[in-house]
Amino acid sequence: MRLNKFISETGLCSRREADELIRQQRVTLDGEIAATGAKWLEGMTVCVDGNVIKQKPQAKHKRKHVYIALNKPIGITCTTDTSVRGNIVDFVDHPERIFPIGRLDKNSEGLILLTSNGDIVNQILRAENKHEKEYLVGVNKPVNEVFLRTMARGVRIHNQVTLPCRVSRLAKYGFRIVLTQGLNRQIRLMCEALGYNVVQLRRTRIVNVKLGTLKPGAWRNLTDAELAGLLPHFSNW
């Protein structure tokens, strides 16, 4: 297979990023600096910045679909429309056709899930399932107790009052919020209704899937345990 595809399948980065590593002469193939378009054959040793990378072991039961977690950077748009510059599909550059589950607006960052399995999207997004999503938020004014209590109780946006949620202060200008609904631009509009502007918004958790140490722009495959927690009644992975 092509060397960039081999590198991407180890989970290190996307094929596009692998091409850039090769162009920068940071990749060796059996001890020799790899050339753009190089091929990897079974048994060849691949190193990136001097570190050997290996194929991931095959799962006991091969999945039918792709499920990945991406740390979406600011500026990437959660759309499958490839005519949109900076669309998430081209950014991930996955070898299979995938699409995002829900969205994060262009100016927000953090955890978003993508899949090739259209059957699970509604199950994850369905409001009555009350799946938790956790965010860290920075605002332009000091966070006070009135703000925290009002946010937790519910704020009128989109001609409705948001569902009660958990909110806690993190710093003078920052707070953590856990939502169980996903109205369009919900956190930003809730803050604006109370006279605050969001200056930073990062999603760190969706149900049991955590952002953890995943670097901005990087993605990884979900584990079997994460899928089981995310979709406890779904087995057709």
Q: Which of 90, 93, 105, 224 is catalytic?
A: 105
Taking alpha carbons only, the member of 75, 86, 7 closest to residue 39 is 7
- Mark the ranges of the chain whose per-residue pLDDT is less than 50: 59-60
> What is the spatial distance between Cα 74 and Cα 201, in angstroms, rounded to a whole number?
9
CA–CA dist 70, 191 (Å, integer):
26
Please, what's the b/e burial string for 154-175 (b: 16 or more CB within 10 A of its CB; e: otherwise)?
ebebeeeebeebebeeeeebeb
Tens of pLDDT, residues 82-138: 899 999 999 998 988 899 998 899 999 999 999 998 777 767 776 556 789 999 999
90 counts as catalytic: no
Q: Give pLDDT, residue 59.
A: 46
- Write down all domains in the chain, each with its CATH number in brackets: 3-53 (3.10.290.10), 67-126+211-230 (3.30.70.580), 132-206 (3.30.70.1560)
Model's pTM, two decimal places? 0.73
d(CA 42, CA 52): 15
What pLDDT is recorded for position 231? 75
Q: What are 122-135's pLDDT values in tens digits?
A: 677 765 567 899 99
